A and B are shown apart, each in its own frame.
Chain A
Amino acid sequence: MDARSYHRPELVCPAGTPAALRTAVDAGADAVYCGLQNETNARNFPGLNFTPAEVKQSLAYARARNAKLLLAINTFPPAGKFAMWRDAIDHAAAIGVDAAIVADIGVADYAARTHPDLRLHLSVQAGASSPEAIRFYCESFGIRRVVLPRMLTVAEIAELHSQIPCEIEAFVFGNIGMMAEGRCSLTNYVTGTSTNMQGVCSPAGSVQYEEDAAHNLTARLGGYVIDRFGCDESAGYTTICKGRYACGARDDAYYAFEEPVSLNLSALLPDLMRAGVTALKIEGRQRSRAYVKSVVAAFRGAVDDIMAGRDAAFTSLLALTEGGRETEGAFPSKRWR
């Protein structure tokens, strides 16, 4: 392969804490993304995220090492509570982050009108999956980059690239939610806290585990059994869309939406880079520093290998995937659908 046919992509890495941010930068991230400690971001989990002061300090750390900091303000403010999101955007502009990642039309409009110099990326939570939808956001709010939903094939991404006026960021590794982002209220249906309005998805604090005499482990969320693990199975991070259920069409319980697998597109990196993807995104703000270090370092090496015309040598990332199982999801073919 000819290395000249590639643009050097930006490696965008998760940071749940300032320590994880430093780890990601040190491991070779071109950009890190993080959120504030409130409902304005889609990973509003206990013990995660940044104060505005920490964002400012982290930005200095990243800048000194030639890395960018992106602030996710990517949930949907309910009417009457817009001020929290307005403040987050004002913080992002005042601190001078490299971009704010937004999903809500009102938040995007506020940012574009109030802080025209603040670079805006469209979050995957906006669910913009067609050229027309993406152009709507670009034309309305000056969006500079779209984070694509994890539902397009590489061929579809390549075609999309020529039809939109902004950069493309695509997920390459990590947890793969089965529902279209920004369009799922399963957690709210079960627990009374909203993914879109509060940034909460299958909150760990609401999952209860019960072990029976035979050591089967039952996972319940808000009173509903969402999975049961035999003593020979490992119980992973359980979400509604990765649980097992029964239906009339099948004799046995099955993963009605998706099995507990993680996305791993390492083998498709050259294809994604040729398709015009500007930025490669690693999911996992809720993951440990050790995880962040291993994954970021592996992808740093792979991107550098490809740019130098070498085959990318991945040390096995499999051990880091959910339940030790990985998938290329929607990206290789339409048969995933």
Chain B
Amino acid sequence: MVQELLQQQASELTLGPVLFNWAPERWRDFYFRIADEAPLTTVYLGEAICFKRAPLFDDFLDAVAERLVASGKTVVRSTLSEVMSKQERQLVADVCADPAVMVEANDGSALSHLRGRPHHVGPFMNVYNERTMAVLARGGAGVICVPPEMPKEAIAALCADAAELGVAIETQVFGRLPLALSARCYHARAHDRHKDSCQFVCNEDPDGMTLRTLDNQPFLAINGIQTLSYDYLNLVGELQDLETRGVHRFRLSPHNCDMVEVATTFRDVLDRRIEISEATRRLAALDIDAPFSNGFYHGKAGHSWN
């Protein structure tokens, strides 16, 4: 009975934060179009990768948030994924300062600020099991986006306890997989610079900088201190399976392609308006220069397609 109720629950599509260094006007216009046209319920907003980029978008942040809210979307502020310096700590403190603002914690410092009030926990936090989820739920976590390497069995086991704790589990279903973080900026390194003198060279690569193997095989994508997969995660064929296992929040990670089309396609599948084959055809027609993968979900190598 409970299982049936869970399955009847309406699934939501969300949009993760833009992980890349886009030109501020383009960043604004991207979100304006998302606000006006994309069938999403929640949009995560804010810099998750590099504190140096955050001021670039400050001028447009309020306007973007207002437009999203006006279109009926919930805005959640994302925090930095790696926090160590004074500036990084200050940025996290600032994002968490207003108790009226819903925030997604991406590291332990944000958790320390948010403990005791309702918040989200992001995919950069390591929430792998029921006990970790329970601790965070006691601290106020209501939505937890699991790490992308979680296999389906573990996701299902987590979901089995989530409802009782008042937690909704979210999984990424589209976009390059966040694979690693470092203290070092690999964009700066590729250009023989240091993080402090990077001159924002990461703005040359709106979907990340492709790393190829010595056999010229595309392998990874560099985004400042972050390393992502070259492939794009695509779980459009697994949505129904995810719902059966108790997941009802699905996150799209923004890219340079037509994200309104991506959101519409996933929404159409969730609403059973189109078949998987039609969704696959639409997604394959996107301007994406990389293959799709879904290996992690199936407990296989992340880059594989099953």
Contacts and interface: CB of A to CB of B under 8 A. Distances in A.
5 contacts: A78-B129, A105-B126, A151-B182, A197-B149, A336-B184
A80 B89 CA distance: 34
B257 interface: no
Given A132-B109, A183-B82, A247-B190, 12 more contacts: A106-B131, A109-B132, A132-B108, A133-B108, A151-B182, A185-B179, A188-B296, A246-B216, A256-B211, A257-B227, A336-B184, A337-B195
A189 B227 CA distance: 12
A228 B40 CA distance: 46
Interface string A132-161: 111111001000000001011000100000
Contacts of B182: 151, 178-180, 257
B281 interface: no
A81 B185 CA distance: 35
A256 B190 contact: yes
Interface string B277-305: 00000000000000000011001111110
Chain A: interface size category: 35 or more
B124 interface: yes
Contact of A110 (B131, B133, B295): B131
Contact of A130 (B88, B157, B186): B88
A4 interface: no
Contact of A132 (B113, B129, B180, B185): B113
Interface in A42-83: 76-82
A104 B219 contact: no
B109 A184 contact: no
Interface stretch (A23-31, A219-227, A283-291, A294-302): A219-227
A100 to B, nearest CB: 15
B213 interface: yes
A76 B209 contact: no
A189 B301 contact: yes
B194 A337 contact: yes
A245 B211 contact: yes
B183 A337 contact: yes
A184 B179 contact: yes
A156 to B, nearest CB: 7
A257 B89 CA distance: 25
Chain B: interface size category: 35 or more
Contact of A224 (B135, B153, B217): B217
A132 B196 CA distance: 23
Contact of A189 (B109, B113, B229): B229
Given A245-B214, A257-B182, A78 B111 contact: no
A37 interface: no
Contacts of B88: 130
Contacts of A79: 128-130, 133, 154-158, 161
B303 A189 contact: yes
A143 B21 CA distance: 37
Contacts of A184: 179-181
Interface string A292-320: 00000000000000000000000000000
B269 interface: no
Contact of A137 (B85, B108, B133, B185): B108
A247 B209 contact: yes
Nearest to A334: B196
A245 B214 CA distance: 6
Given A151-B84, A334-B196, A185 B148 contact: yes
B84 A249 contact: no
A128 B82 CA distance: 9
Contacts of A183: 81-82, 124, 126, 180-181
Interface centre among A76, A104, A192, A254 (most CB of B within 10 A): A192
A202 interface: no
Contact of A246 (B126, B150, B214): B214
A294 B182 CA distance: 30
B213 A245 contact: yes
B177 interface: yes
A221 to B, nearest CB: 10
B148 to A, nearest CB: 7
B112 interface: yes
B131 A109 contact: yes
A190 interface: yes
Given A77-B128, A156-B84, A136 B109 contact: yes
